[in-house]
């Protein structure tokens, strides 16, 4: 523990010190805290738009550039490789440098990468530019989760984080409607231009208005003035004591590499199980995101209809996130996640039995989104609470990074199944298996206890 940390954590009389964790937990949520969550949600909204863009433009892209389906899978996965690397690298960096600079920087990266993607003239260029875009997208998410979690009281943290992450699903859903409207008129490049310009504006706004985590500033030490300014904005006019502090759990520090601390003590089994949940759920999510429009188009549905039906997958995720967030506020437990994963498995199977009926597809796709995307949002809130401040971005970032391996495998695996002519019903039976495994892993965490939740 550094000398500055020791000064921040020094023992002083109770009347002269303010514990930030207790202060945030005991007060009503202020407009300032809501503004922080809203800014994070806006960044995640654009993240979702850009993450799903390739899936929406895939049918038009293959026609315009003559890309075979076997090649399209790696093109889609190149962005996911970038997201994996971005999540793995940004988490440890954010635990050293702060959530704010990483969040702003990553937003700039995925905006620039999207603009480059619009200029691609070859498969190689598409893969390279999508990988760059993915670096930013993968790095933004864990820091938005950590920052929102650290600004919200415990009693509202589940709803706050899952609702904020709804920005991702909303962005992906809006992307579907935007793509359906502009691709026929302006071509597939227009989707990436929209997805590139908007993040550049939002990054500028975040630079001006987005604060750093108060608890992170105190854990790092040497930034009490900045922390005090944010506390004053949460409770304007409230007299503050001479010193601010964090709890012993929040201030946890130890030597060694941050990644090793994810496996310290009771966290080891929980970390492995959390990684399993993320891997399986993101495999499922990105398989469906990437191939649903193409599968439905093959079933003789118009491309615009297929895109809109896929957007309902994201819409169901928004409803699921709100529902599961409310359940987490009542019972902050991995049992909630286990139940949503089982729900997802059932409706993924039913998608395969819906044939070409737009009504049945709308119902089953929406319900599957509720379980898969809603469950993924719930896992973010649970994972963020599992780790202390000093390694929170690392914990969430590495869970997302490991999960991205599943998201990379999902589109490739789906492409191989479709190229080999596997029946549609069997494809969706296969897609239900990861959801069942995720449910078992979440239930296992609940049985052994959540561990060091903060």
Domains of the chain: 17-448 (1.20.1250.20)
**């504006």: which residue's tokens?**
201
E-strand ranges in 129-235 read none
DSSP string, 36-67: HHHHHHHHHHHHHHHHHHHHHHHHHHHHHHT-
Q: Over the stretch 390-422, which tens digit does the pLDDT of each residue have? A: 788 889 899 988 998 887 788 777 777 777 666
244 bridge partner residues: 18
Q: What is the DSSP string of 334-375?
A: HHHHHHHHHHHHHHHHHHHTSTT-HHHHHHHHHHHHHHHHHH
Alpha carbons 304 and 183: distance in angstroms, whole number: 10
- Using CA atoms, how far apart are residues 214 and 219, in angstroms rounded to an integer? 9
Look up residue 243 and give its DSSP letter: E
The percentage of residues in the chain with a pLDDT greater than 70, rounded to a whole number, is: 89
Report pLDDT for 6. Answer: 42
Nearest to 20 by CA among 150, 166, 191: 150
pLDDT exceeds 50 at position 452: no
pLDDT digits (tens, 9 = 90+) for 131-140: 999 999 999 9
Question: Using 50, 70 and 90 to split pLDDT, how confident is the model at 257?
Answer: low
Confidence of residue 253 (pLDDT cuts 50, 70, 90): low
Residue 292 has pLDDT above 60, yes or no: yes
Beta carbons of 381 and 149 less than 8 angstroms apart: yes
E-strand ranges in 256-299 read none
pLDDT at position 453 is 42
pLDDT at 300: 72
Specify the pLDDT at position 245: 62
Lowest mean pLDDT segment, chosen from 4-8, 150-154, 198-202, 384-388? 4-8
Give the residue, 331 or 193, on which the prediction is more confident: 193
Burial (CB < 10 A; 0-12, 13-18, 19+), residue 264, is middle
**pLDDT over 80 (residue 213):** yes
For Cα atoms 207, 148, 239, give the angle at the middle one, nearest 5 degrees.
85
- Contact 9/136 with Cβ under 8 angstroms? no
pLDDT digits (tens, 9 = 90+) for 91-145: 889 888 889 999 999 999 999 999 999 988 888 888 999 999 999 999 999 999 9
pLDDT of residue 345: 94
For residue 14, give the DSSP letter: G
pLDDT of 199 reads: 95
Write down the pLDDT at residue 1: 37
Among residues of the chain, what percentage have pLDDT more than 90?
A: 32
CA distances from 43 to 54, 111, 156, 400 (A): 18, 11, 21, 17
For residue 200, pLDDT beyond 80: yes
For the chain, what is the mean pLDDT?
A: 83
Average pLDDT estimate for 163-180: 84
Contacts of 33 (CB under 8 A, 6+ apart): 24, 151, 152, 234
Q: Residue 237 has what DSSP assignment?
A: T
pLDDT digits 0-9 by tens, 18-69: 677 777 878 888 899 999 999 999 999 999 898 888 878 887 887 777 777 6
Comparing CA positions, the residue from 79, 284, 89 lying closest to residue 192 is 79
Report the alpha-carbon distance of residue 296 to residue 290 in Å, rounded. 12
Higher pLDDT, 8 or 213: 213
Q: Which residue has the higher pLDDT, 371 or 156?
A: 371
What is the pLDDT averaged over residues 178-194?
89
Q: Rounded CA gap, 250 and 218, in Å?
A: 9
Return the bridge partners of 245, or none.
Answer: 19
What is the pLDDT averaged over residues 307-335?
85
Residues forming a β-bridge with 18: 244
pLDDT value of residue 57: 85
Q: How far apart are the first and last CA of the chain?
A: 20
pLDDT digits (tens, 9 = 90+) for 1-28: 344 344 333 333 444 666 777 778 788 8
């Amino acid at each position: 523990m550094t000398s500055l940390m020791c000064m921040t954590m020094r023992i002083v009389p109770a009347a002269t010190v303010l514990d930030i964790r207790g202060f945030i937990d005991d007060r009503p949520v202020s407009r300032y805290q809501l503004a922080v969550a809203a800014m994070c949600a806006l960044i995640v909204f654009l993240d979702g738009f850009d993450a799903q863009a390739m899936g929406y433009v895939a049918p038009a892209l293959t026609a315009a550039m003559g890309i075979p389906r076997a090649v399209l899978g790696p093109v889609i996965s190149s962005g996911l490789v970038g997201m994996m690397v971005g999540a793995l690298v940004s988490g440890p960096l954010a635990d050293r440098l702060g959530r704010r600079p990483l969040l702003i920087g990553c937003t700039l990266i995925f905006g620039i990468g999207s603009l480059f993607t619009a200029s691609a003239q070859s498969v190689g260029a598409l893969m390279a530019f999508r990988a760059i875009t993915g670096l930013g997208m993968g790095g933004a998410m864990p820091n938005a989760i950590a920052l929102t979690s650290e600004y919200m009281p415990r009693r509202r943290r589940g709803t706050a984080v899952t609702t904020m992450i709804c920005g991702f699903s909303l962005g992906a859903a809006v992307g579907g409607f935007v793509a359906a409207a502009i691709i026929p008129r302006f071509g597939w490049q227009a989707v990436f231009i929209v997805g590139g310009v908007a993040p550049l504006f939002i990054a500028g706004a975040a630079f001006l208005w987005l604060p750093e985590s108060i608890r992170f500033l105190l854990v790092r030490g040497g930034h009490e003035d900045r922390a005090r300014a944010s506390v004053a904005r949460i409770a304007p006019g409230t007299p503050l004591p001479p010193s601010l502090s964090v709890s012993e759990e929040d201030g946890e520090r130890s030597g060694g590499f941050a990644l090793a601390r994810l496996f310290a003590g009771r966290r080891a089994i929980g970390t492995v199980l959390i990684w399993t949940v993320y891997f399986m759920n993101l495999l499922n999510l990105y398989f469906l995101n990437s191939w649903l429009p193409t599968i439905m188009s093959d079933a003789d549905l118009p491309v615009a209809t297929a895109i809109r039906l896929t957007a309902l997958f994201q819409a169901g995720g928004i409803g699921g996130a709100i529902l599961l967030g409310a359940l987490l506020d009542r019972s902050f437990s991995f049992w909630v996640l286990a139940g949503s994963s089982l729900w997802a498995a059932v409706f993924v199977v039913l998608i395969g039995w819906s044939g070409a009926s737009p009504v049945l597809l709308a119902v089953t796709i929406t319900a599957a989104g509720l379980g898969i995307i809603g469950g993924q949002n719930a896992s973010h809130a649970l994972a963020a609470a599992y780790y202390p401040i000093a390694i929170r971005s690392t914990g969430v970032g590495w869970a997302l990074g490991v999960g991205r391996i599943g998201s990379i495998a999902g589109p490739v695996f789906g492409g191989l199944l479709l190229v080999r002519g596997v029946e549609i019903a069997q494809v969706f039976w296969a897609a239900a298996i990861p959801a069942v495994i995720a449910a078992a892993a979440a239930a296992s965490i609940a049985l052994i206890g959540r561990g060091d939740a903060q």
